[in-house]
């Protein structure tokens, strides 16, 4: 039985950032949490130690998102390409959601967080599905932060799946070809019930999308940092939020 850790009581020093300073907080933040392996390597630890540290940073990041009134936080936790990793690493990564929820679910519930996922949920192992399904059920009526885990998620597969499903419905005469537009396609994506991300953060210095939310990020602001995910702190998160304040979003207009 792992020790229950305090969730919203950080032992770290409070950062002197006033929430009032952030006048334009992104409603939806998506994060590519990258650099766990390199973090572990730098410390002479096995890669999975980086993932474990990364899991604890997820807790801190949720705390910061709640504090700054972000409405949706989408975290890329396991991609459809991550199956290519060594078997023991894949299994460790897929056990992390259960471990995370075992420790933090009571605090997430207390703090009105709702848990959801995007991705091919059915193909996940039973131990992942059961833990996450239980958490979804337990938090379904919460109306605070939506914590959206991208689990077994790949954007191209998501788009293909949407197109196939849309074609089936068109065959069944639910709509005509003329009615197919961006809005309709969006309804077939895993993200049909959430707004597109306003801000995308990727850690570890890599500047690519890695098959993450390709459709949904069309007008999203990007923010990259060299910080490795296990070193991602409230201070770094707030830096991204402060930077977002100065972005002028024109959506192709002037
Ligand atoms: C990429 O770093 C990270 C992942 C593939 C996994 C991300 C998962 C977590 C941060 C923990 C998830 C926690 C929960 C609660 C589900 P990498 O391993 O590719 O790092 P590297 O590029 O340095 O090798």
Q: What digits encode the pLDDT tens for the residues 209-230?
A: 999 999 999 999 999 999 999 9
Closest-CA residue, ligand 1 atom 22, reads: 35
| Ligand 1 environment, Cβ below 6 A | 33-38, 51, 54-55, 58, 77, 82, 93, 96-97, 100, 149, 204, 229
Q: Which atom of ligand 1 is nearest to the CA of 36?
A: 20
pLDDT of residue 53: 98
Q: How far apart are the first and last CA of the chain?
A: 57
What CATH number belongs to 28-154+198-245? 3.40.1180.10
Q: Per-residue pLDDT for 12 more than 70? A: no
User: Ligand 1: which of 229, 230, 231 to mutate, most ligand atoms within 8 Å of CB?
Assistant: 229
pLDDT of residue 10: 44
- pLDDT over 90, % of the chain: 88
Q: Which atom of ligand 1 is nearest to the CA of 82?
A: 5
Bigger pLDDT: 54 or 12?
54
Over residues 178-188, the mean pLDDT reads: 98
Q: How far is CA 180 from the centre of its chain?
A: 29
Over residues 144-169, the mean pLDDT reads: 98
pLDDT of residue 190: 98
Catalytic residue numbers, as ranges:
34, 82
Q: Which atom of ligand 1 is nearest to the CA of 59?
A: 15
Closest-CA residue, ligand 1 atom 6, reads: 77
């Amino acid at each position: 039985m792992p020790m229950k850790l305090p969730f919203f009581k950080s032992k770290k020093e409070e950062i002197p950032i006033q929430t009032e300073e952030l006048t334009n907080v992104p409603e939806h933040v998506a994060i590519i949490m990258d650099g766990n392996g390199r973090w572990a390597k730098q410390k002479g630890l096995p890669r999975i130690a980086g993932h474990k540290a990364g899991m604890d940073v997820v807790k801190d990041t949720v705390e910061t998102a709640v504090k700054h009134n972000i409405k949706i936080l989408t975290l890329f936790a396991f991609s459809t390409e991550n199956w290519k990793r060594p078997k023991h690493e894949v299994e460790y990564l897929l056990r992390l959601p259960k471990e995370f929820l075992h420790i933090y679910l009571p605090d997430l519930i207390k703090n009105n967080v709702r848990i959801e996922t995007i991705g091919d949920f059915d193909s996940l192992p039973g131990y992942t599905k059961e833990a996450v399904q239980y958490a979804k059920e337990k938090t379904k009526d919460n109306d605070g932060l939506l914590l959206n885990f991208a689990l077994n998620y790949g954007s191209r597969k998501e788009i293909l799946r949407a197109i196939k499903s849309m074609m089936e419905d068109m065959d069944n005469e639910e709509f005509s070809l003329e009615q197919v537009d961006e809005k309709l396609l969006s309804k077939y994506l895993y993200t049909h019930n959430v707004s597109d991300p306003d801000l995308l953060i990727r850690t570890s210095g890599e500047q690519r999308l890695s098959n993450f939310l390709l459709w949904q990020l069309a007008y999203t602001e990007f923010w990259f940092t060299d910080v490795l995910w296990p070193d991602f702190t409230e201070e770094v998160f707030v830096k991204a939020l402060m930077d977002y304040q100065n972005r002028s979003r024109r959506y192709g207009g002037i």
